[in-house]
Amino acid sequence: NGSGELAGKRVVITAGPTREPIDPVRYISNHSSGKMGYALAVAARDAGASVLLISGPVALRAPAGIEVRSVVTADDMLQASSQAVDEGCDLFIATAAVADYRPESCASDKIKKTNEAMALPLVRNPDTLATIAGRQDAPFTVGFAAETSDVARYAKDKMQRKNLRMIVANDVSAPGLGFNSDNNAVTVFWSGGQETIGPDTKQAIGSRLVALIGQHLKQG
């Protein structure tokens, strides 16, 4: 699609969860299925973009015409994203549900069940989105915000703190929407405006998001 909203643009999208290993057989993760990120990737491809998906472990197939680079941990996601932006990127969209913390160390052997209670020390993971948006040569950067309360306030705060051009707020407390569902409802915020999209399928929301982001990208 040489005349689409994103014709000639290189788009990098993070999707899915990350997994943070505890020992050789266990990890910390979350309920992200990757569906929202993959739907956005398809919509961006259909709008004429060259699309790279940086994907955590998901059960989805690589969509036709889209390169997928698979990652496991938050560290991997940052490394793959930084490399992708080094290679050239006009638009970076972070839909991934990255684990905020990881176990301080990964045990080399399976942890045994000995005590009645145990504590697992955690350390902060790097923030891919904030790192990309903070680069001198940052692409147009769009984040997501999964929230369960005070959605608009937290989302707008994240947009400012992480230096984003737009943020897609996802109320993940609504039943049947958000994590792991085929449907979603979001509100997009940018400096001076907002738009609510859905409830609808993630594919329909992806298409509308791409149109909206494309308009703002053109305005520079």
Q: Which residues are annotated as a binding site?
A: 100, 110, 144, 158, 162
Q: Of 5, 20, 46, 127, which one interacts with ligand PMT (CB under 6 A)?
A: 127
> 101 Cβ partners below 8 Å, 6+ apart?
20, 28, 122, 123, 124, 125
d(CA 134, CA 102): 23
Q: Let me know if 170 is a catalytic residue.
A: no
Which of 102-110, 111-119, 177-185, 189-197 is the region at the interface with ligand PMT (rule: CB under 6 A)?
A: 177-185
Position among 12, 43, 68, 172 found at the interface with ligand PMT (CB under 6 A)? 172
State the Cα–Cα distance between residues 87 and 49, nearest whole angstrom. Answer: 15
Determine the Cα–Cα distance for residues 72 and 61; give it in Å rounded to an integer: 16
- Indicate the SS3 state at residue 198: strand
- By CB under 6 A, residue 54 contacts ligand PMT: no
Binding residues for CTP: 100, 110, 144, 158, 162
Looking only at residues 25 through 44 of this chain, which bind ligand PMT when binding is defined by CB under 6 A? 32-36
Of 41-49, 123-131, 190-198, 207-215, which part binds ligand PMT (CB under 6 A)?
123-131
Is the CB of 48 or the CB of 217 nearer to ligand PMT?
217
CB-nearer residue toward ligand PMT: 53 or 146: 146
Q: Are 63 and 42 in contact (CB under 8 A)?
A: yes
Cis upstream peptide for 24 (omega within 30°):
no
Any contact of residue 97 with ligand PMT (CB under 6 A)? yes
Query: Considering beta carbons, is residue 22 or 163 the nearer one to ligand PMT?
Result: 163
Contact between 96 and ligand PMT (CB under 6 A)? yes
The span from the CA of 11 to the CA of 74, in Å, is 20
Question: Is the Cβ–Cβ distance between 12 and 91 less than 8 Å?
Answer: yes
SS3 71: coil
Indicate which residues carry an active-site annotation.
30
Residues in touch with ligand PMT (CB under 6 A): 14, 16, 32-36, 74, 94-98, 100, 125, 127-129, 143-146, 158, 170, 172, 178-180
